[in-house]
């Protein structure tokens, strides 16, 4: 046992690690890369992605101009789902506004509206919806039917109340704050981008400048060289996890409901995945420029099919199955679980297991590739 300890302490690893740390501290660009882009990305993703469909602009053409028609308009606007953009007096104006996208919806109340209602007949209103944004259009038409059915109930007070009442409760994010959804996803996105970039450039730089050969001539073993390179980077990237969690707490007030220590352990797994991807990229590329360009091929699909921005369930079948092979998808699910749901490994074990497998397999492949390149 003491012999092993002696071996570890006398290893070239320490000297090399000190050299790497000095190099990193001198490299302003690297430190900048570790701090600035992640913060900016978190801020912009968190603030700019706002999927809330409310305050939809509505243009009204009220031919009836009666009490009920005005009540209908106020029923549409009372929840701020729609806001009246303006009243028009001609159908051409209204259709023009919808056609040009000035308003999301146009409501036409016919002149015989009040009369038909008084005669106990069905009155019909027309709604034109701008369908260029298919998602918003769908939600808007859903809101409209919902509000109209409530309005119908109001028109017939003698009717019985609805017999089935779905009482919805929102879990984990009762205030429906959209940044709470995006921020954990973006933490995963940021770690993916930064860890693959930083590790690949650390390896490629030595290749580019030719110092890799010098390192090889030292008595250090190749695993010591690689480990000394990666451990400081790993620690810095763990610092990025702290940074990202700090931004999410301080700026977006996203809760952290799970176990912090376990979350850091799982994040460490994910960083290993990111670092391995970086090393793989670096071993297959000849120059730094090739690394950054080929990283597009990996990172773009990884991020877009991870559910960080658009939920995985809405994707076509192929992508839903492919998502199982996407380490980021697992990490995002874990991050949402720890931050918002307050669950732990017991509930998320499948994702944690998948992540561990990815970490082991990718680490193995990348180290093997790197060593074969060294020899």
Partner 1 sequence: MKRIIAQAVKELSQFRRDRLTVALAFVLPLLTLLIFGYAIRLEAKNIPIAVQDFSNTPLSRRYTERLFATNQFQAAPLLGGSAQSVLDRGRARAAIVIPPDFADCIQRQEPSAVQVAIDATDVNNARVTKSYIEATTRFFLRISGLQSVPQRLQARIRIWFNPGRQESLYIVPGTCAVVLWIYPSLLAALAMVREKEQGTIVQVYASSLSALELILGKALAFLVVGLSEAVVIITVSVVLFQLRFAGDPTPFLLGTPIYILAAVMFGLMLGTKAANQTAAVQGVALVGFLTTLLLSGFIYPVSNIPFPLSLISNVIPARYYILIIRDAFVRGTGWTGVWFSLTMIVVLGSVLFNVARRSLSRMQVSD
- What residues between 286 and 305 interact with partner 1 by CB under 8 A? 288-290, 292-293, 296-297, 300-301, 304-305
Question: Shortest gap between Cβ of 162 and partner 1 (angstroms)?
Answer: 6
Tell me the C-alpha distance between 275 and 198, whole Å: 8
Q: Does the protein bind partner 1 through residue 192 (CB under 8 A)? A: no
Helix (H) or strand (E) holding 319: helix 317-322
Contacts of 4 (CB under 8 A, 6+ apart): none
The total of other beta-carbon atoms located within 10 Å of residue 134's CB is: 8
Tell me which residue of 188, 185, 196 sits closest to 296, measured CA to CA.
196
226 token code pair: 């690689």
Q: State the Cα–Cα distance between residues 116 and 128, nearest whole angstrom.
A: 22
Nearest-approach distance from CB 58 to partner 1, in angstroms: 13
Rounded to whole angstroms, how far apart are CA atoms 282 and 370?
9
Interface with partner 1, residue 316, by CB under 8 A? yes
Among 5, 9, 168, 250, binds partner 1 (CB under 8 A): 168
Measure the CA angle with vertex 320, ends 314 and 324; round to 5°.
Answer: 140
Residue 175 beta carbon to partner 1: minimum distance, rounded to whole angstroms: 9
Give the residues across from 105 on adjacent strands.
Answer: 58, 129
Subset of 109-138 contacting partner 1 (CB under 8 A): 117, 120-138
By CB under 8 A, is residue 178 in contact with partner 1? yes
Site for partner 1, residues 71 to 110, rule: CB under 8 A? 72, 98-101
Contacting partner 1 within 33-52 (CB under 8 A): 33, 37, 40-41, 44-45, 47-52
Which residues lie closer than 8 Å to 284 by C-beta, 6 or more apart?
A: 294, 369
3-state secondary structure 188-247: HHHHHHHHHHHHHHHHHHHHHHCHHHHHHHCCCCHHHHHHHHHHHHHHHHHHHHHHHHHH
User: In the window 208-247, what residues touch partner 1 (CB under 8 A)?
Assistant: none
By CB under 8 A, what part of segment 259-278 binds partner 1? Answer: none
The one among 63, 87, 151, 223 contacting partner 1 by CB under 8 A: 151
Total length of the chain: 375
Under the criterion CB under 8 A, does residue 196 sit at the interface with partner 1?
no
Q: Does the protein bind partner 1 through residue 180 (CB under 8 A)?
A: yes
The residue (of 37 and 371) whose beta carbon lies closer to partner 1 is 37
**Number of residues binding to partner 1, judged by CB under 8 A:** 104
Residue (22 or 99) nearer to partner 1, CB: 99
Of the candidate residues 215, 243, 268, 309, the single one contacting partner 1 (CB under 8 A): 309
Q: Give min distance, CB of 371 to partner 1, in A.
A: 25
Whole-angstrom Cα distance, residue 72 to residue 107?
10
User: Shortest approach of partner 1 to residue 320 CB, angstroms?
Assistant: 8
Residue 57, φ and ψ in degrees, nearest 5: -75, 130
Q: Which is nearer to partner 1, 17 or 129 (CB)?
A: 129
Query: In degrees to the nearest 10, what's the CA dihedral of 354, 358, 359, 364?
Result: 140
Task: Tell me, residue by residue from 321 to 360, as one string, x for binding to partner 1 by CB under 8 A and - for no binding.
Answer: ------------x--xx--xx-x---xx------------
Residues in 14-33 that interact with partner 1 by CB under 8 A? 29, 33
**167 binding partner 1? (CB under 8 A):** yes
Find the binder of partner 1 among 86, 162, 239, 364 (CB under 8 A): 162
CB of 224 closer than 8 Å to CB of 72: no
- CB of 219 vs partner 1, minimal distance in Å: 32
- Nearest approach, Cβ of residue 187 and partner 1 (Å): 14
Closer to partner 1 by Cβ: residue 89 or 171: 171
**155: how many CB neighbours lie within 10 A of its CB?**
13
């Amino acid at each position: 046992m003491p012999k092993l300890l002696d071996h570890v302490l006398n290893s070239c690893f320490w000297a090399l690690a000190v050299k790497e740390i000095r190099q990193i501290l001198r490299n302003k660009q690297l430190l900048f890369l570790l701090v600035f882009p992640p913060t900016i990305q978190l801020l912009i993703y968190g603030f700019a992605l706002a999927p809330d469909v409310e305050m939809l602009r509505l243009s009204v053409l009220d031919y009836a101009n009666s009490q009920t028609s005005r009540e209908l308009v106020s029923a549409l606007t009372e929840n701020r789902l729609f806001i009246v953009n303006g009243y028009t007096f001609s159908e051409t104006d209204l259709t023009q506004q919808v056609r040009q996208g000035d308003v999301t919806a146009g409501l036409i109340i016919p002149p015989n509206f009040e009369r038909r209602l008084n005669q106990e007949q069905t009155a019909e209103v027309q709604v034109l919806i701008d369908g260029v944004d298919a998602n918003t259009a769908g939600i808007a038409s859903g809101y409209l039917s919902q509000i109209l059915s409530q309005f119908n109930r109001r028109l017939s007070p003698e009717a019985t109340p609805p017999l089935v009442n779905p009482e919805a409760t929102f879990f984990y994010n009762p205030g429906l704050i959209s940044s709470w959804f995006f921020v954990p996803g973006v933490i995963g996105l940021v770690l993916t981008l930064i860890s693959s970039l930083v590790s690949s450039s650390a390896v490629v730089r030595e290749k580019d400048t030719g110092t890799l050969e010098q390192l090889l001539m030292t008595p250090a073993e190749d695993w010591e060289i690689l480990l000394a390179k990666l451990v400081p980077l790993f620690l810095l990237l763990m610092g990025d996890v702290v940074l990202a969690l700090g931004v999410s707490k301080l700026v977006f007030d996203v809760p952290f409901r799970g176990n912090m220590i376990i979350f850091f352990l799982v994040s460490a797994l994910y960083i290993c995945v990111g670092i391995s991807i970086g090393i793989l990229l670096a071993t297959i590329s000849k120059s730094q420029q090739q690394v950054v360009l080929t990283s597009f091929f990996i990172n773009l699909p990884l991020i877009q099919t991870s559910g960080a921005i658009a939920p995985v369930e809405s994707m076509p079948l192929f992508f839903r199955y492919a998502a199982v092979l996407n380490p980021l998808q697992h990490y995002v699910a874990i991050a949402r679980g720890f931050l918002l749901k307050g669950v732990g490994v017991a509930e998320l074990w499948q994702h944690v297991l998948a992540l561990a497998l990815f970490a082991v397999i990718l680490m193995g492949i990348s180290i093997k590739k790197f060593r074969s390149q060294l020899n």
